[in-house]
């Protein structure tokens, strides 16, 4: 699974309708260019590909008075919303060591209901525990990594990562169950996107040919 599809679909969905530069700006604002493959070229490619696949609808708007080609704005379709929610749910429960996918899913967690979010996170814990049980049939953490030579440090790293993930997920569940954050259907959501023209302190200097401004 690639995090870029989830990130781009979610960013467009939050705006309702957005052009490529807005999507890129939002993802950079979230720091996604640092922890995922959400680089400018990947973002514009994903927008165009998902428009071809019917997940996004592309609108061409009039060119600016300064000239230049029309800017394309994208709007998520019903099929795109279904794909976004499928990716979100799958990313929350999947334990596959990919931090970018987990990070993207957490960024859109409040698009679900509070009860569903908690249920998915509990399923994530169940899968982590199942993974750990399978691994420790062959590797005993209490005996230390030396039992496998220096290669044991690889398994040691993965087990520690799993344990940390489980502890963090349990903490998140506790915060959500105590009432943290505004979930779908509960009121005005947290605004995690930049307004049109708002300066992005994390923007890169690189520009893309589709940045018709």
CATH number at residue 64: 1.10.10.10
Is residue 163 domain-shared with residue 124, that is, in the same domain?
yes
Is residue 154 domain-shared with residue 101, that is, in the same domain?
no
Domain with 159 in it: 113-183
CA distances from 73 to 62, 65, 83 (A): 11, 17, 19
Is residue 23 domain-shared with residue 106, that is, in the same domain?
yes
Is residue 95 domain-shared with residue 2, that is, in the same domain?
yes
Is residue 101 domain-shared with residue 140, that is, in the same domain?
no
Is residue 88 domain-shared with residue 43, that is, in the same domain?
yes
Mean pLDDT, the chain, whole residue set: 84
Is residue 23 domain-shared with residue 93, that is, in the same domain?
yes
pTM over 0.85: no
Is residue 1 domain-shared with residue 104, that is, in the same domain?
yes
Question: Over the stretch 5-57, which tens digit does the pLDDT of each residue have?
Answer: 999 999 999 888 888 888 988 888 888 887 887 888 899 999 999 999 999 99
CA dist 88 and 105 (Å) reads 5
Question: Over the stretch 107-119, which tens digit does the pLDDT of each residue have?
Answer: 999 999 999 999 9
Rounded to a whole number of angstroms, the CA Rg of the chain reads 20
Question: Over the stretch 56-82, which tens digit does the pLDDT of each residue have?
Answer: 999 987 665 555 667 789 999 999 999
Span 84-111, average pLDDT:
89
Span 183-192, average pLDDT:
82
Domain count of the chain? 2
159 pLDDT band (50/70/90 cuts)?
A: confident
DSSP 33-99: HHHSS--HHHHHHHHHHHHHTTSEEEEE-PPPTT--SPPEEEEE-HHHHHHHHHHHHHHHH--SS-H
Strand partners, 76: 56
Is residue 14 domain-shared with residue 80, that is, in the same domain?
yes
Three-state DSSP state, 108 = coil
Per-residue burial over 170-182, b = 16 or more CB atoms within 10 Å of its CB, e = otherwise: eebbeebeeeeee
């Amino acid at each position: 699974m690639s995090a870029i599809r989830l990130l781009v679909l979610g960013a467009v969905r939050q705006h309702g309708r957005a052009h490529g530069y807005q999507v890129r700006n939002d993802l950079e604002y979230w720091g996604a260019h640092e922890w995922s493959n959400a680089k400018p070229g990947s973002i514009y490619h994903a927008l165009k590909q998902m428009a071809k696949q019917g997940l996004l609808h592309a609108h061409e708007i009039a060119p600016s008075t300064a000239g230049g080609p029309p800017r394309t704005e994208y709007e998520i379709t019903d099929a795109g919303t279904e794909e976004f929610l499928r990716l979100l749910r799958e990313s929350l429960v999947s334990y596959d060591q990919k931090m970018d996918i987990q990070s993207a899913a957490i960024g859109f967690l409040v698009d679900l209901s509070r009860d569903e979010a908690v249920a998915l996170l509990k399923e994530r814990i169940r899968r982590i525990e199942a993974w750990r049980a399978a691994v420790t049939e062959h590797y005993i953490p209490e005996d230390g990594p030396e039992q496998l030579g220096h290669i044991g440090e690889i398994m040691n790293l993965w087990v520690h990562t799993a344990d940390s993930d489980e502890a963090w997920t349990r903490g998140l569940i506790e915060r959500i169950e105590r009432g943290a954050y505004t979930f779908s259907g509960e009121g005005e959501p947290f605004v995690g996107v930049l307004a049109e023209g708002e300066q992005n302190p994390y923007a890169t200097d690189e520009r893309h040919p589709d940045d018709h401004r």
